[in-house]
Structure 1
């Protein structure tokens, strides 16, 4: 878990200052059927919101914890990230993820083993979900940077 946290912190540190340097045109450019880079960042905000809830709720919810999916496309559209001020969007992304880092650092070994039932009834643990969250974040950051 320590490696995932270090990677997470590095991703936040490097990109909170990088994202504001990307031109507005590049951030807002849309291709048919694809999110803009700005909307990808908005998707990362939605992901942070949902995972912040998951990472905290699992500690007091009935076990095994049932993972609730969300409609990613609808949320990006409803939250209107394409029209949002980029500095506010970056700040929102950073603050939410900084809180997730704090939670990840405070999770004990017992909690990392809590079972999570996915919508397809497969079972993972909190350690996998947290590590996968960092991988998901890195994947989308790379899309923004490309």
Structure 2
């Protein structure tokens, strides 16, 4: 898990640097009407962080395998109106959620990392996979913010 922790820390630093060097116009511009802006992608990462923090926490006490509940990502981005949110607020929220996730990851043991989860397709995996998948997902979308 140390590699995953270092990767998450690095991504948080990289994201903060990118966001702090971007203009409001760059962050709110949409390449097409159906696509998210950089701010909306950041908002999606916040929603993902919130949902995964809840998953990482609940798996500690729930029956196993823990069943992953999907969430409506497009609807959450719209409902939270990240496009019009203050950048400082959503950046702080994104960092705070990921700092909490880092703390939670660092508390895990080999036993807890092996807790079984049921993925949406009915497959079985474990908390270790779920954590790594979260960080990989964050990396994917952060690269979108940087490249757009």
Q: TM range, normalised to the smaller chain?
A: over 0.9
Equivalent residue number for residue 23 of structure 1: 23
Q: CA-to-partner distance for each residue in 1:102-146, whole Å, 9 max, x for gaps?
A: 100111110101110012211111000100111000110100001
Please report the TM-score for the alignment, with normalisation by the length of structure 2.
0.96
Segments of 5+ residues of structure 1 without an aligned counterpart are: none
The residue that corresponds to 1:144 in the other structure is 145
SS at structure 2 position matched to 1:116: strand
Q: Is the 8 A contact 1:8 1:134 kept in 2?
A: yes
2:50 is aligned to: 49
- Runs of 4+ aligned structure 1 residues displaced above 3 Å come to none
Report SS of the residue matched to 2:121: coil
Query: In structure 2, the residue corresponding to 1:61 is in which secondary structure?
Result: coil
Q: Which residue of 2 aligns with 1:2?
A: 2
Q: Which piece of structure 1 moves more, 38-47 or 112-121? A: 112-121
Contact 1:5 1:104 in 2 (8 A): yes
Q: Distance in 1 between matches of 2:14 and 2:119?
A: 32
Alpha-carbon distance between aligned partners in 1 of 2:107 and 2:13, rounded to the nearest angstrom: 20
| Residues 28 and 37, structure 1, Cα contact 8 Å, conserved in 2 | yes
* Larger mean Cα displacement after TM superposition, 59-68 or 9-18: 9-18
- CA RMSD for the aligned pairs? 0.8
Contact 2:28/2:37, CA 8 A, preserved across alignment: yes
Q: Which residue of 2 aligns with 1:34?
A: 35
8 A contact 2:11–2:139 mirrored in 1:
yes
State which drifts further: 27-36 or 71-80: 27-36
